[in-house]
Amino acid sequence: MQKVVIIFFLALAINGCERANGEYQAEFVQDGDSVVICCEQGETFIVRLRDIDAPEKQQPYAEQSRDFLRQLLQDQTFKLKGLETDRYGRRLVDIILVDKQSLEQYSVNKLMIESGSAWVWRYSNDYKLRYIQKQARDEKKGLWALPESQRLEPWLWREQYRRNKKSQK
């Protein structure tokens, strides 16, 4: 019950942060899948891009992934889709860019996979994203151009990092 109440108030806080036109702006891009969002009232909150997993800061291609996401979001307003939160309290979202002239919508999550800047999250059920990832891998885009020895999925890298940390104690 306590968890439900916390999620309810978190959703209220985030929705209270939404701009009048339903659009947001990035305050800061932490890495290739986490963004600090700025509200009109000056408040901020953290979102994580749903269904993708970008390289961790110490991994090869982490800077390029973060920089590509920064480039996509720089000076842009965008819409957020998604109400779930992860265990760290971050809202899991799809960031949607809208072309002001054509009104065409672009999923930033999809663009991150398409460019080879992130992996599809291992528990994702989004088969379209998996297909897009296969195309990026076949075309050796982004991190897929790295030697195989330098390409380790972030979830496996985090497991190794935790194991190494424990063994050093």
- Dihedral over Cα of 41, 46, 51, 55: its sign: positive
pLDDT tens sequence across 75-103: 999 999 997 998 888 899 999 999 889 99
- Dihedral over Cα of 105, 111, 112, 113: its sign: positive
Q: How far is CA 114 from CA 7, 105, 126, 144, in A?
A: 32, 15, 14, 11
Domain-wise residue ranges, the chain: 2-164
Residues in a beta bridge with 31: 34
Segment 7-35 mean pLDDT? 70
Q: Which of 20-24, 113-117, 121-125 shows the lowest per-residue confidence on average (mean pLDDT)?
A: 20-24
Helix, strand, or coil here: 92?
Answer: strand
pLDDT tens sequence across 38-50: 877 788 999 999 9
Query: When comparing pLDDT for 23 and 53, which is higher?
Result: 53
Q: What share of the chain is helix, strand, coil (3-state, %, to 5)?
A: 40, 25, 35
- What are 153's two structure tokens? 């999925």
pLDDT at 42: 80
DSSP result, 68-129:
HHHHHHTT--EEEE---B-TTSPEEEEEEEE-TTT--EEEHHHHHHHTTSSEEPTT---HHH
So what CATH class is 2-164? mainly beta
Helix (H) or strand (E) holding 47: strand 44-49
**Would you say residue 9 has pLDDT above 60?**
no
Nearest alpha-carbon partner for 11 in 108, 93, 106, 124:
93
Going by pLDDT thresholds of 50, 70 and 90, the confidence category of residue 17 is low
